[in-house]
Structure 1
């Protein structure tokens, strides 16, 4: 398995897609039920293959990630060959996880209590594996507005 198996909730949300996936493997609903009962490892393997297909699809489309903690923001732009990163450190008594703290940051990007670090790193492994690792470590997929906003300020 390349990534990790989807959660029960994710499988439920992708019920129709999973049914089509099973159908593409020539497995109907009755056969799936029997497979789960009689050959649970084979059923598990099918779920793992489907999970990898879904993750690959999501990761191929992922361009931006962001990770917020109370005093630090990590923003990522994931290109084909490398990741660009902006780290924002705040030395002020605010919490970036709260709306008020986030709004302060967006309104005061030039405040002397803010430190910006930027960098670019080529992938050591396959791109999607590294993007997946960032997600597993707590990053969220984003549309990139925050990255682009601070990228313009730091360029």
Structure 2
């Protein structure tokens, strides 16, 4: 399995998509109820296949990721073949990268206490799999606008 199986609380958000997936795969509502009751391993396999499809589509659409902590901000631009990083780090108690407002304030008022770095590298494995691992380690979807704004501030 390239990705993990969706958790029950995540599946709730994809209820309509799951129904469509089951219909496309020839599983009626009655068949689904029967599978869940009498052949749970087959129902689980269908959820695994659905999860793979969902995560694959989600990872293909990601263009930017970010990881925030009070002392570090990592912004990633996820291109086709390479991933680009802008990193900000500080040990100063006045600097906080936890929220958009505190990032802005830190960059404006305490820029001299912030170290910035940039890096580009090709993906170490398939793009979608690497992005999935990053999201599992705490990265969140971000935007090109945010990436470019921070890039301009640190150049």
- The structural deviation recorded for 1:144 is 2.5
Q: Are 2:22 and 1:22 aligned? A: yes
Query: 1:15-49 deviations in whole A, cap 9, x for unaligned?
Result: 11100100111111111011112111111110011
- State the TM-score, normalized to the length of structure 2: 0.91
Superposed, which structure 2 residues align to 1:3-152 within 5 Å? 3-94=3-94, 95-98=96-99, 101-108=102-109, 111-152=111-152
Aligned length: 154
CA distance in 1, matches of 2:133, 2:49: 18
- State the TM-score, normalized to the length of structure 1: 0.91
- The structural deviation recorded for 1:112 is 1.1
CA distance in 2, matches of 1:103, 1:151: 12
CA distance in 1, matches of 2:136, 2:49: 19
Structure 2 unaligned residues grouped into runs of 5+: none
Q: Over aligned residues, Cα RMSD in angstroms? A: 1.7
CA distance in 2, matches of 1:108, 1:146: 19
CA distance in 1, matches of 2:105, 2:13: 36
- The structural deviation recorded for 1:99 is 6.2
Q: Which moved more, 1:60-69 or 1:91-100?
A: 91-100
CA distance in 2, matches of 1:142, 1:104: 19
Query: 1:26-79 deviations in whole A, cap 9, x for unaligned?
Result: 111111011112111111110011111111111111000000011000100000
